[in-house]
Amino acid sequence: LGRMLTFLPQFCRGMNYLHENKPAPIIHRDLEPSNILRDDSGHLKVADFGVSKLLTVKEDKPLTCQETSCRYVAPEVFKNVDYDTKVDVFSFALIVQEMIEGHPPFSAKHDNEVPQAYATRERPPFKAPSKHYAHGLKELIEACWNDNPAKRPTFRQIITKLEAIDNSFSHKKRWKVRPLKCFQNLEAMLKKDHSSASSRSSSRSTGSL
């Protein structure tokens, strides 16, 4: 989990760069695990821009499951409506949940059934033990796949939230170790003091004979 919290902000910075692109934001529209690559230096990269588009470019028809990975696509993409960069935020939520749950969203459903599930506000259930979700991460996922795109955070906001979650997780992890280490140090000190006291007592006894 700690490694995941380290890698996710890297990915989000890449997406934030696309979304804050000038003169117009770039929408990826096909984010899925296979499109997130790690280079030799360990940094995450976003790949496959086959169906990406500029926010300002209008389309005559919505995307289909033949053109994109519909299991990770926001419901508004399949409708004949305007949408923005928040569709990538929706996909991000599903990817993060899959990383924790260990299987694709709605793995029991066929690909063509998943968009309808999203359209009716159904979301993949959280089944992994709660300890697998750092405090605040589950709430962030739920915010990112909100049915209302306007209520989904931007990637810039997600980065800030992830950094706070990581800091909290790392702090708790340290405190889980430190009390034990401090206790061990205290035990060593007590043993040392006891040994010194015994030695002094023995010396006094020897000196009195």
Structural domains for the chain: 2-168 (1.10.510.10)
Task: Please say if the pLDDT value at position 6 is more than 60.
Answer: yes
Q: 189-204: buried (b, 16+ CB within 10 Å) or exposed (e) per residue?
A: eeeeeeeeeeeeeeee
Is 84 a known active-site residue? no
Q: Phi first, then psi: what are they for 149, rounded to 5°?
A: -55, -35
Task: Please say if the pLDDT value at position 126 is more than 70.
Answer: yes
Give whole-number Cα distances, 77 to 13, 60, 64, 153, 163, in Å.
Answer: 23, 12, 9, 18, 29
Q: Is 46 in a helix, a strand, or coil?
A: strand
Task: Please say if the pLDDT value at position 11 is more than 80.
Answer: yes
Give the tens place of pLDDT for each residue, 139-159: 999 999 999 999 999 999 999
Residue 203 region by backbone torsions, left for phi larger than 0, else alpha for psi between -120 and 50, else beta: alpha
Helix (H) or strand (E) holding 185: helix 155-208
Give the tens place of pLDDT for each residue, 69-93: 899 999 999 887 889 999 999 999 9
Nearest to 139 by CA among 87, 93, 84, 104: 93
pTM: 0.78
CA distance 14 to 137: 20
Task: Classify residue 105 as exposed, middle or buried by CB count within 10 Å of its CB (0-12, 13-18, 19+).
Answer: buried
CA distance 207 to 111: 88
Q: Is 121 in a helix, a strand, or coil?
A: coil
Confidence of residue 56 (pLDDT cuts 50, 70, 90): confident
